[in-house]
Structure 1
């Protein structure tokens, strides 16, 4: 087979334009097992998971072993998980919170039917979650973090494997001891790194790239080995913005000093 010069040029251009695609974690999951009072699995039970702020929902049925696994959910919450099965009282678990890239395990025990539905309030709510090589912060935890600069870097430094250069001109973030330029930053799955290498912090601007009030979830991973993460040598920072709603709210902040400080 002969390859003309034009064909070779097109082939070379096509190969050169191919870039690896990495799907950063922007969703969460809820899985669990539905059983009766004797520990026996309840098959074909209806499991409905509702994201309360937006009203979106996912419905599943348990398998023969009573298990269900709902993935691709919004990160955050709260969620309401309702389980219905013939001959059993309906049971709902409210206040379930999830984290980006993580799975919440929720086991439900159904009672024989008495005509009374049961509502359980989740008591395992975590505003900030830190596990090996990973830190997750939700909106409540972010609101409780003091940041004079209103800078994303002040959130990242909460991760035990992340260090912040105190130099105010750079404020470079190192994750797992790697170069700040080796980190990957995404917002809702879209990469927003410093392509030109002009800033020491690895971000495209010297200041925070997004308002702290707009962040619903922040996930920091040090040298992740998950195949879904890539194009990095240090750490992965995934930012998920809040969803819109019909409720209007805002915030304000400022810095001031009293007469004693001024004198």
Structure 2
């Protein structure tokens, strides 16, 4: 009963009159890594590609002899979601020409088979969401059905409460591996008071509440599924460092106690 760590793309290819185009070649290219998945449409013009990388961008090319080639760029896929992409092929003229379609952003996805309410947070959104503690608890709070209880300045003790449930009714996984407090000693429901992974290593974050899918065990509260970034063909990375001493951005302490030391934190991904 492992959590999903990938994405999927499906759709239907038709001609200008809306008739299905069978046997069309659909090439799906993950641009950062240049890896390609090729599928073929069936008799009804439908195609499906499972197990794709989360995020993107992807470049999708549809071609068949006798039709003009269609390309769609900047396609982004969401964690544990099947994105629908329907395209129409025009009848080829004497001189074959390509038609390019460009998308600027990922579209809203309606999933009729969803068994609960879910929120997806992509790597692009993680870069702009205010998260001074760089904690997974703060990301979970972007879901309107989740609040943080017993939150402190460090963020490590914050408890994720979904739909008013106790935080121990949540199921948190990282790349399908459970990351829960199995023994029951930590107040935040995680194996320790530290974060289970670097904030910079997260590719996408899926938060599902009231999910009645039988594959989501022990998720009476929230099923939080985190997938880490995959590699590309170019060497790259990121680093974060914060340092606070006694004279920077510190106010008067409670009961006259002042901050006279220093604190620092750093992550890399």
Q: Which runs of 5+ in 1 are unaligned?
A: 1-21
Give yes or no for contact 1:128–1:141 (8 Å, CA) kept in 2: no
DSSP-derived class of the 1:119 partner: strand
Deviations, residues 213-260 of structure 1 (Å, cap 9, x unaligned): 110010000131223222332111111000123322323343669x89
Which position in structure 2 is the counterpart of 1:32? 11
Q: Following the alignment from structure 1 to structure 2, what is the Cα–Cα distance between the partners of residues 240 and 135?
A: 14
Q: Residue 43 of structure 1: which of 17, 22, 29 is its match?
A: 22
Which position in structure 2 is the counterpart of 1:133? 117
DSSP-derived class of the 1:252 partner: strand
Once the two structures are TM-superposed, the CA of residue 54 in structure 1 deviates from its matched residue by 2.0
Give yes or no for contact 2:136–2:195 (8 Å, CA) kept in 1: yes
Relative to total residues, which structure has the larger helix share, 1 or 2?
1
CA RMSD of aligned residues (A): 2.5
State whether structure 2 residue 105 is matched by structure 1 residue 118. Answer: no
State whether structure 2 residue 218 is matched by structure 1 residue 231. Answer: yes
DSSP-derived class of the 1:78 partner: strand
Q: Following the alignment from structure 2 to structure 1, what is the Cα–Cα distance between the partners of residues 22 and 175?
A: 36
Which position in structure 2 is the counterpart of 1:204? 191
The equivalences for 1:37-76 within 5 A come to: 37-76=16-55
State whether structure 2 residue 133 is matched by structure 1 residue 149. Answer: yes
Once the two structures are TM-superposed, the CA of residue 127 in structure 1 deviates from its matched residue by 10
Q: Following the alignment from structure 1 to structure 2, what is the Cα–Cα distance between the partners of residues 140 and 128?
A: 17
Once the two structures are TM-superposed, the CA of residue 53 in structure 1 deviates from its matched residue by 1.7
Aligned length: 241
Once the two structures are TM-superposed, the CA of residue 123 in structure 1 deviates from its matched residue by 3.2
Q: Following the alignment from structure 1 to structure 2, what is the Cα–Cα distance between the partners of residues 254 and 62?
A: 52
DSSP-derived class of the 1:97 partner: strand
Q: Which runs of 5+ in 2 are unaligned?
A: 252-269
The equivalences for 1:165-244 within 5 A come to: 165-168=149-152, 170-244=157-231
Q: Following the alignment from structure 1 to structure 2, what is the Cα–Cα distance between the partners of residues 163 and 27?
A: 27
Q: Following the alignment from structure 1 to structure 2, what is the Cα–Cα distance between the partners of residues 128 and 35?
A: 21
Once the two structures are TM-superposed, the CA of residue 183 in structure 1 deviates from its matched residue by 0.7
| Greater shift in the superposed pair: 54-63 or 157-166 | 54-63
Give yes or no for contact 2:149–2:159 (8 Å, CA) kept in 1: yes
Please report the TM-score for the alignment, with normalisation by the length of structure 1: 0.84
Give yes or no for contact 1:35–1:41 (8 Å, CA) kept in 2: yes
State whether structure 2 residue 147 is matched by structure 1 residue 163. Answer: yes
Give yes or no for contact 2:7–2:81 (8 Å, CA) kept in 1: yes
Give yes or no for contact 1:220–1:238 (8 Å, CA) kept in 2: yes
Q: Following the alignment from structure 1 to structure 2, what is the Cα–Cα distance between the partners of residues 238 and 190?
A: 9
Please report the TM-score for the alignment, with normalisation by the length of structure 2: 0.82
